[in-house]
Amino acid sequence: MKQILLSVLVLLLSACASTNWSTRSYQDEFTDQKTCRVVYGTDFGKGIVKGMGGIHYYPFIENGPDGVVFGIHNDYDVPVGDVQIRVDGNSFIAISPSETPLRFSSSAYQIDTSYMKDIEGIDSEAMQNSMKASMENVQKMSSPYTATTGEKAEEIISQLRVGKMMKMRIIGFGVNSVASTTGEYTLGEELREALAACGI
């Protein structure tokens, strides 16, 4: 009986420690738009970690409608905030929620400013643009993702390809401190194969 319990414990611990890189494919139900995502960890391992309490953050790399995206999400769909990424001895790269593509954000909000038309001294177009920009920022700040695209994403991915270890620090919406959540993620051949499978 003790051997069976020990075997079950070893299996559970290895599943929990099994934090490999893999790919997931998604297709939008309405637009049929396809996305390929490289993710860290298994669903089973993440489920065990989630059951232990706390918020856990995971990196992802995606090839989709915004081009190549590098980002971070968590297992409770709460806002992530600012993040720092450091691969091996390279300088850290900061990612802000303001860089996150809108499709990773919460539901879109529309504010009707039509009542401001033809009011003397009010530029209704400027007001509409200002309100739209404000609402987009609110959407990005409340997103359970922090992500970046373009040159910054490409730079991070280039470092990941040749690196051995990535450190990720979640600053959130506060001040960077020793109390900020930090995690380490092993890089290597498995990641390179997953990137290739997603055409990255």
Supply the pLDDT for residue 190.
93
Residue 40 CA to residue 56 CA, distance in Å, equals: 12
For residue 199, the SS3 value is: coil
Residue 196 CA to residue 200 CA, distance in Å, equals: 6
Give residue for tokens 């069976």.
Answer: 4
For 29-52, how does the pLDDT look when each residue is reduced to its tens digit (9 = 90+)? 888 888 999 998 765 455 555 455
- Does residue 167 register a pLDDT over 70? yes
H or E, element range at 89: none
DSSP state of 83: E
Residue 63 CA to residue 151 CA, distance in Å, equals: 14
The mean pLDDT value for 60-66 works out to 90
The domains located in the chain, with CATH, are 2-106+142-197 (2.60.40)
- Does residue 171 register a pLDDT over 60? yes
Residue 113 CA to residue 153 CA, distance in Å, equals: 36
For 99-140, how does the pLDDT look when each residue is reduced to its tens digit (9 = 90+)? 988 777 766 566 666 666 667 767 777 777 777 776 676 666
- pTM, to two decimals: 0.74
